[in-house]
Amino acid sequence: MTGFWRQVHTVIMRDLRRERRTAEVLGVTIPFGATAIILIGFVLSANTDTLRKAGPAILWGIVFLFGTLVAVRRTAAETPAQRDMLALTGADPAAMWVGQAAASALFMILFQVIVGIAGFLFLGFSVPMWWSIPVVIVLVGIGLAALGTLAGWIAHDLETGTALVPLIVAPLAIPLLLGASKTLDVLVTNRGILRWIVLMMVVDLVVIIIGVLAARPLQENP
């Protein structure tokens, strides 16, 4: 394992240990997201056709709204003092950014799996091409985590930095939201999904490249 990836692994394990102590995602965000899906399912249960047609859009709306909360909580957990301490150790800023984004992606993927199960159970729609769902979940998880981490680094020195993260993530996540919602929609109707998969891959790749290249300037920004 090279020095870069060893640092990435260290940051990932640190964030996983922090989540095990605080349970901010597993104990707060995921239950709230699943509860929102269940409540919507009960509210619209009288109109089965509407629920089935709107199900994919509702599911992705919940994923993106609560996914932003995952990004906010991961950003808030990283204080300026901790960031400065890591910088003094000589850690590669790009490795720190990749590690934080990777840890957030793991939480986002887990969040989507649990909320997705609740959605399929309570929103009443089925997906013929179920085998492609993991691809969509991974791409959305990586994209949202990368956007949230990048937004957190941009806003970390501001007094209202945490509050600004959703405002930064929301407009940048529109292409990812479009690709995800269209993908699930065409999966439900058993049509081709290649162009939407490519769109999400491009968004993920662009955000990752920007994050890696901007990590050092953002860390050195006073």
**Has residue 34 got a pLDDT over 90?**
no
Q: Which comes out higher in pLDDT, residue 216 or 89? A: 216
Average pLDDT, the chain: 78
**pLDDT tens digits, residue range 137-183?**
899 999 988 988 888 877 775 655 566 677 777 788 888 888 887 77
Give residue 115's identity as a one-letter amino acid code.
Answer: V
**pLDDT tens digits, residue range 38-68?**
887 777 765 666 666 777 777 888 888 877 7
Q: Which comes out higher in pLDDT, residue 47 or 109? A: 109
Neighbouring C-alpha atoms within 13 Å toward the C-beta of 36: 20
Contacts of 26 (CB under 8 A, 6+ apart): 19, 110
Q: Which comes out higher in pLDDT, residue 222 or 88? A: 88
Complete DSSP assignment for 163-199: HHHHHHHHHHTHHHHHHHHHHHHHHHTT---HHHHHH
Domain ranges of the chain: 3-220
Lowest mean pLDDT among 12-26, 29-43, 53-67, 115-129: 115-129
